[in-house]
Structure 1
Amino acid sequence: MAGPQRKRGSPTVQWQQLIEQVRYSGRYATGEEAEDVLRAVLTVLGSHVSGDERCELARLLPVEAATILTAQIPLTEPLTAPGFVDAVARHLPPCTGPEARWATSTVLCLIAQLAGEDLSLRMLSELPRGYALLFGRAELTAAA
């Protein structure tokens, strides 16, 4: 029998692997610290991603991450990028602004890698300007 094949839309990583990726990328000392960061960012992200993008992202995440993401009620108007970072900071007390920005960017960059180019661009198109940097992308503007 051939090796396992990944079904379309099935998780690409397991929960513990995702925590370890956050720990490594964010240079966190422990898995527990990385898990707290991951949970905080997913909680805030869950209130910002909706529709097909939310469903597609949830299918790509481990069950534990998808549950956190989809348990949130989407906001009618998303926060600005700085407001998003502030919301993450409130979930990680005591957390400074720079620490919250680092945590947010660490997780959102990993989410973008898991989501792929198409889904990442669709999620960014639904968010206010300023989020691209949090996802590890340049903020591009159309020429006049």
Structure 2
Amino acid sequence: MPMRPEAFLDHIQERGEYRTREEAARVARVVLALLGAHLVGTVRAQLAARLPETYALILLNPLQAAEPLSPDRFVRVTAAWIGGATEKTALWDVGAVLSTVAAAAGDALLSEVLLQLPPGFDLLFGHPQPT
């Protein structure tokens, strides 16, 4: 069952301490577009199925990534796409969105998502994995 759009954005707005839901939505679109470029196949489809339709479509039609981005580069690219963002604010933005995605995904699916991502993304999702 996908998370309702209002609940999804409220969660991001609360986690990111954004003033408006629109700000939360803007950040969510950028982070999900970048995340979608890193995921493939059934894992991406299953994750999309847990998100509100608008955001599922962004995840399924991502920006093209020439190569998988390390967590640091993912944050840097996010900063470049969000007007006025710095690396520090982008790290905050990424955390707000990905922790919400993690909550929507559940532990089993999140583990599969993390297997498709470069090491260190577990921290961006707020779910450090034992090494």
> Whole-Å Cα distance in 2 between the matches of residues 51 and 74 of structure 1?
15
| Unaligned ranges ≥5, structure 2 | none
Q: Residue 76 of structure 1: CA displacement? A: 6.2
- Deviation string 1:82-126 (CA, Å, 9 cap, x unpaired) is 111112112201101110000001111110111011110111111
Kindly indicate whether residue 97 of structure 2 is the aligned counterpart of residue 107 of structure 1.
yes
Question: Which of the two has higher C-alpha Rg?
Answer: 1
Query: Normalising to structure 1: TM-score of the pair?
Result: 0.85
**Dislocated runs of 4+, deviation >6 Å:** none
Relative contact order higher in (CA < 8 Å, ≥ 6 apart): 2
Equivalent AA in structure 2 for residue 133 of structure 1: L
Higher helix share: 2
Q: Residue 71 of structure 1: CA displacement? A: 0.9
Q: 1:44 is matched with which residue: 14, 34, 46? A: 34
Which secondary structure does the structure 2 equivalent of 1:113 belong to?
A: helix
Corresponding residue of 2:15 = 25
1:132–1:139: 8 Å Cα contact kept in structure 2? yes
| Unaligned ranges ≥5, structure 1 | 1-9
**Cα distance change, pair 117–80 in 1 and its aligned pair in 2 (3 A):** same
Equivalent AA in structure 2 for residue 33 of structure 1: E
The size of the alignment, in residue pairs, is: 131
Corresponding residue of 2:118 = 128
2:13–2:19: 8 Å Cα contact kept in structure 1? yes
CA RMSD of aligned residues (A): 1.4
**Cα distance change, pair 73–52 in 1 and its aligned pair in 2 (3 A):** farther
1:112–1:120: 8 Å Cα contact kept in structure 2? yes
Query: Normalising to structure 2: TM-score of the pair?
Result: 0.93
Corresponding residue of 1:4 = none
Over the matched positions of the two proteins, sequence identity in percent amounts to 36
